[in-house]
Amino acid sequence: MKIAIFKFASCSGCQLELLNLEEELLEIAGKVEIAYFVEASRKLMKGPYDISLVEGSVSTPEQLEELHKIREESKYLIAIGSCATAGGIQALRNWAQLEEYKKIVYLNPEWIKTLEKSTPLSEHVKVDFEIRGCPINRKQLLWVLSQIIVGREPFLPTHSLCIQCKIKGYTCVLVTRGEPCLGPVVMAGCGALCPSFQRPCYACYGPSDLPQTIKLAQQFTEKGLSKKDISLLFKKCESWTPKFKEVVEKYE
């Protein structure tokens, strides 16, 4: 079994999680062939690949072209991280005028060749599985790989973060402190990392399978948050997912 790891517009944090697996990574390397992993090895093998893990959003014409090539060469294409699954923090530019943005950021904006929007892989090709998060949870990555290696269809929970918080026994920051926690509409999977430090969830895992984002935004209004605060809460690395978009459009 050949695994390849690719990167588009992203910070490499998700690949780093793969490297952070350390001992387990060696175990994975013993089970499968790591055929393409620029960040870890100079030995780069050509496709086809059995599993391709793709980090990053599609942001440039070259990336779009490469994505199609990866799709053709991969039996199993897995999008990893919020850039690849939702467009990432850089999808904030989707809410602005591209040309104006370029002028603000770059000295010579005419040198920049980019797509109009930063988008998730699934907008362009068929994605077989998604692992959410910014960054991904390496335990989830390990679980998904283990499932594929033994020949199972990968599976991850898709319910709300609240359920994970309660299973782990973390006290609700929304109810006890009135913190604007997005947990009720966010997919579990991180292990309730922020609430475990009594901090509200800021939704790097994106929407759950039943996300009542507009209703949660109304709750925040009742708690006294301004429209701007609410739109900013939903306008982070998951702003381009349809259910979050709804809130941003309504409250911005």
Partner 1 sequence: MKSIIMMGTENELRTLFDKFKGKATIIGPKIPNGEIAIRYCELNDYSEIPREVEDDQEPGKYKLMQGKFFRHGFDSPKKYMFPSTLKIIRVEKELEVKPYNYDPKETVFFAIKPCDAAAIKIMDKTFTWNKDAYYNAQRGKITIIVENCIKPGKTCFCATMGTGPRATENFDIAYTKINGKVLFEAGSIKGEKILMEIEVLKPASNEVIIEFIKVMDEAYEKAKAPFTTINLPEKLEINIANENLWKELSEKCLGCGNCTMVCPTCFCFDIYDESHLDEHVDRVRYWDSCFTYRYAEVARGHFRPEIWAMYRQWILHKFSYWKKQFNILGCVGCGRCITWCPAGIDLRENVKKASIGV
**Stretch of 66-74, 124-132, 154-162, 226-234 contacting partner 1, by CB under 8 A:** 154-162
Among 133, 184, 195, 200, the residue binding partner 1 under the rule CB under 8 A is: 184
Residues 70-129 that bind partner 1 (CB under 8 A): none
The verdict on 20 binding partner 1 (CB under 8 A) reads no
**Stretch of 85-93, 208-216, 224-232, 235-243 contacting partner 1, by CB under 8 A:** 208-216
Distance CA 3, CA 53 (A): 8
**Stretch of 37-45, 124-132, 182-190, 227-235 contacting partner 1, by CB under 8 A:** 182-190
The verdict on 22 binding partner 1 (CB under 8 A) reads no
3-class secondary structure for the chain?
CEEEEEECECCCHHHHHHHCCCHHHHHHHHHCEEEEECCCCCCCCCCCEEEEEEECEECCHHHHHHHHHHHHHEEEEEEEHHHHHHCCHHHHHHHCCHHHHHHHHCCCHHHCCCCCCCECHHHCCCCCEEECECCECHHHHHHHHHHHHCCCCCCCCCCEHHHHHHHHCCCCHHHHHCCCCCHHHEECCCCCHHHHCCCCCCCCCCECCCCCHHHHHHHHHHCCCCHHHHHHHHCCCCCCCHHHHHHHHHHC
Pair type for strands 2-7 and 74-80: unpaired
Distance CA 247, CA 252 (A): 8
What minimum distance in Å lies between the beta carbon of 213 and partner 1? 9
Among 114, 146, 196, 221, the residue binding partner 1 under the rule CB under 8 A is: 146
Rg (CA), the chain: 19
Residue whose CB is less far from partner 1, 183 or 189: 183
- C-alpha to C-alpha distances, 156 to 104, 120, 190, 209, nearest whole angstrom: 40, 19, 11, 12
What minimum distance in Å lies between the beta carbon of 147 and partner 1? 5
Residue whose CB is less far from partner 1, 134 or 181: 181
The verdict on 176 binding partner 1 (CB under 8 A) reads yes
Among 9, 79, 162, 203, the residue binding partner 1 under the rule CB under 8 A is: 162
What minimum distance in Å lies between the beta carbon of 11 and partner 1? 27
Among 20, 41, 97, 171, the residue binding partner 1 under the rule CB under 8 A is: 171
The verdict on 185 binding partner 1 (CB under 8 A) reads yes
Residue whose CB is less far from partner 1, 36 or 170: 170
Residues 215-244 that bind partner 1 (CB under 8 A): 215-216, 218-219
What are the residues binding partner 1 (CB under 8 A)?
Answer: 24, 27-28, 31, 142-143, 145-147, 149-150, 152, 155, 157-160, 162-163, 166-169, 171-172, 174-178, 181, 183-185, 198, 208-210, 212, 215-216, 218-219
